[in-house]
Amino acid sequence: MTEDQILLGIALTVALAAFSQIVANRLRVPALILLLPAGFVAGALTDVIHPDKLIGAEFDALVSLSVAVILYDAGLGLDLRQLTGRTRGIVGKLLVVGVLGTFLAVGFIAPALLGMSLATGAMLGTILVVSGPTVVGPLLEYVRPTDRVRRILIWEGTLIDPIGGILGALVFHAVSSHRIDIGRGYQIGQFLISMGVGLAGGAVGVALLWLTLRVMRLGETLGTLAQLAVVVTVSAGCDIIRDDTGLIAAIVTGLAVTNMPGFDMPARRPFFETLVQLIIGLLFISISSTVTPASLTPVLLPSLILIAFLVLVLRPLIAFASTRKSGLGRGERGFLAWMAPRGIVAASTASAFSATLSDKGLPGASKILPVTFLVIVGTVLLYALTAAPVARRLGVVRPSRTRPLLVGGDGWVVDMGKALRSAGLDVLMWAGDADERERIKDAGIELAQGELLATATNPRARLEGVTAVFLLTDDDDFNALASVMMEGNVEGPVYRVGPPHENHGVIAPYTGGDVLFGARLVRHVLAERYRQGARYLVQPASGPVPADFETLFVVRADGTLVPVTEAGAVAPSEDDLLVLLGPVPLTQPRPRTG
C-alpha cells in the first residue's frame, strides 16, 4: 500500500470506530450493533482498512495485546466482596457448565450443519464459548436488571473471556498438529501450564503496579501510563512464553489492583477509559472488515440455525442447570437464560485462528470467521431488541422508583431524609462523623456502610441500588469534589447543595454539576432556616402550596424523585407529591416585667 492509502486507512478506521460509538450512545444501543456492520460495509467497499494490508501479519499480535488491555480494564470493575456465597457458586457453575456445554454441543452439530470437519467444529465450539463485558455491560446498562442478576452476568462475561482464550489456543494447537490426547490428560496438563504462566504473569504485573502506584506514588497521568505499560509488557511476555496466557495475566492484574488494599489508584482515569473505548472500536471495525459478502452467503442459513440453537436451546439448558437449587427466583433464572451475547474475544480468536487453519487445509476452516461474525451480530442484535421486554415480563427490572442517597448528617439533612421517606421513597444516608451517624440511626433511616464513598470513587465501582445522590454536607469543597468523582458510578444523577455566594473554597465555586434548590436556598441558608424552626411538609401536588413555602422536590406518581435545581423549577402533575420547606415561624414577643 502507498503512504496515502495507509493514511486514509488509518483515518477511516478511527473515524468509523469513533462515529459508530457516538451514534450508538445517542441511540442507547450496544456499540457493537453499529461497529460490525460499519466495518463490514467499509471492508466491502474499499481495501484500505483491511488489517492484513494495512498492518500485515503483525495484526494478530496487536489484537492479543489490545484484548489484554480490555480485560485488565474489565478486571478493575470486579469487586471480590460481591462474589460471595450463592453468587460465587452460580458464577462458577455457569462457567464450568457453559464452557463444556457450548464446546461439546457446537462441536457436535457444527460439522453436520456447516459442512466442516470434526476438528474445525471443535475449534468453532471453543470460539463461541466466550461472551464478554464489552457486550454484556452495555446491554445491562440499557435493561437495568436487579443487582444480583447484573452481578452474576458481569462476572460470568468477564471471567469466561480468558478461559475461552486459553481453551481456544489449546484446541488450535491440537487440531493444527493433529495431536489430541485428552484421554491421557495431555490437554488438561497443557491447560494447567497455561494457567500457571498467566497467574505468574499476573503476579509480576501486580508487583510492578505496586511499585509504581504505591511506592512511587505516581499521579493520574503517569499512573495511567504505568498501568498501560505494565499490562502490555506482562501480557506480551506471557504470550511469548505461551500463547494467549497474556489474557489471564491481564485480568488477574486488574482484579488484584482493584481488590488489594493499599493501591493508590487514580479516582478518575479518563485517558485509560478513552483508550479502551478506542481499542474496542478499532478491533471490531478492523476484524469485521476482513469478512467478505462472498464468505457470508453460503453460511448464512446454517448460521441462523446455529444462532437459534444457541439462544433457544443451549443457553437456557446451561442457565437452568447452573442455577438449580441456587435460591434464584424463576424470573432471575429465566433472564440468565436469555443473556449470552458473543463479543470481542470471539471475534479476535476467530480472526487469529481461521486463516492459519485454512492454510493448513483443515476442511471448513474458512467458514469459522464468517460464522462467528454472524453469531456475534445475530446474538447481540437479538438480545438488544428483546432483553428489555423479556426482563420486564420476568419481573427482574429494577423499579423506576428513585432510591436516593443523602450524604450528610446535620439535623436539616436528616429531617429531609425523613420527609422523603414519608413520600414513599427508600432513603439511604451516609455520614462520616460518629454523632451524625447516630443521628441518622435514631431517625430510623438506613445507614450506608462505612466504606461507601470509597467505593463510589473507585474508577470502576458502582453504588448498587442507588439511583440518585444528594451531597448535603457542610463542606462545600467536599460536595463539589465528590460530585465530580461520583459521576458515572451511580445509575442516575449526582446533585450537590449550593455553596454560599461569598464562598472562597478551593473547588466549590468552580465546578459544574447540578446544584440544588436554586440560587437562594444555598447550604447555609437552609441550615439557618432549619435552626430557626423551618420544617418540611409533604403534600399532594393537586393542592395549593401554602404561603411562603418553597418547593424542594417533586415525587412523581411512579416514585421518580425530581429536585428543583438552579436550572429552574419542576412542573408537577396532579398525582405527584411535593416536598416543601416552610418559612421560619414568627416568634411571640416576650411580655415585659416590672
Please give the chain's pLDDT, 594 residues, in tens.
788 888 999 999 999 999 998 998 888 777 878 888 899 899 889 888 888 788 877 787 888 888 888 888 877 777 777 677 788 889 999 999 999 999 999 999 999 999 888 888 989 999 899 887 778 887 887 788 888 898 899 888 888 877 777 777 778 777 766 555 544 455 667 777 888 888 899 999 999 999 888 888 777 778 888 889 999 999 999 989 987 788 888 888 988 887 787 775 554 566 777 888 888 889 889 888 888 888 899 999 999 999 999 999 999 999 999 998 888 899 999 999 999 998 877 887 787 778 778 877 888 888 998 999 899 889 988 998 899 899 999 989 877 778 899 999 899 999 999 999 999 898 989 888 888 889 999 999 988 765 555 555 554 445 667 888 899 998 888 888 888 777 766 777 889 998 886 655 544 454 555 788 877 888 889 999 999 999 999 999 888 888 889 999 999 988 889 998 887 778 888 889 999 999 988 764 455 544
Q: What is the pLDDT of residue 178?
A: 58
Q: What is the pLDDT of residue 593?
A: 46
Q: What is the pLDDT of residue 464?
A: 63
What Å distances lie between residue 303 and 36, 337, 353, CA to CA? 16, 20, 19
Q: What is the pLDDT of residue 492?
A: 78
Q: What is the pLDDT of residue 229?
A: 93
The arrangement of strands across the sheet holding 494-497 comes to 446-447, 428-430, 404-407, 468-471, 494-497, 514-516
Cβ pair 134, 147 in contact under 8 A? no
The arrangement of strands across the sheet holding 550-555 comes to 536-540, 577-581, 550-555, 561-563
Q: Which residues pair with 471 in a beta bridge?
A: 407, 496
* Buried-state track 95-116, b at ≥16 Cβ within 10 A, e below 16: bebbbebbbebbbebbbebbeb
**Whole-angstrom Cα distance, residue 195 to residue 187?**
12
Residues in CB range of 33: below 8 A, 6 or more apart: 24, 377, 380, 381, 384
Number of alpha carbons in the 13 Å side-chain half-sphere of residue 475: 13
Number of alpha carbons in the 13 Å side-chain half-sphere of residue 440: 24
CA–centroid distance for 451 within its chain: 21
Q: What is the Cα Rg of the chain in Å?
A: 28
**Whole-angstrom Cα distance, residue 71 to residue 163?**
12
What Å distances lie between residue 546 and 299, 418, 519, 550, 581, CA to CA? 71, 20, 21, 9, 10
SS (H, E, C) 242-298: CCCCHHHHHHHHHHHHHHCCCCCCCCCCHHHHHHHHHHHHHHHHHHHHCCCHHHHHH
Pairing of strands 468-471, 446-447: unpaired
Q: Exposed, middle or buried by CB within 10 Å (0-12, 13-18, 19+), for 365?
A: buried
Pairing of strands 446-447, 428-430: parallel
Q: What is the pLDDT of residue 460?
A: 45
**Whole-angstrom Cα distance, residue 440 to residue 326?**
35
3-state secondary structure of 395: coil
CA–centroid distance for 550 within its chain: 39
Q: Exposed, middle or buried by CB within 10 Å (0-12, 13-18, 19+), for 443?
A: middle
Cβ pair 8, 55 in contact under 8 A? no
Write down the residue that cell numbers 429531609 correspond to.
416
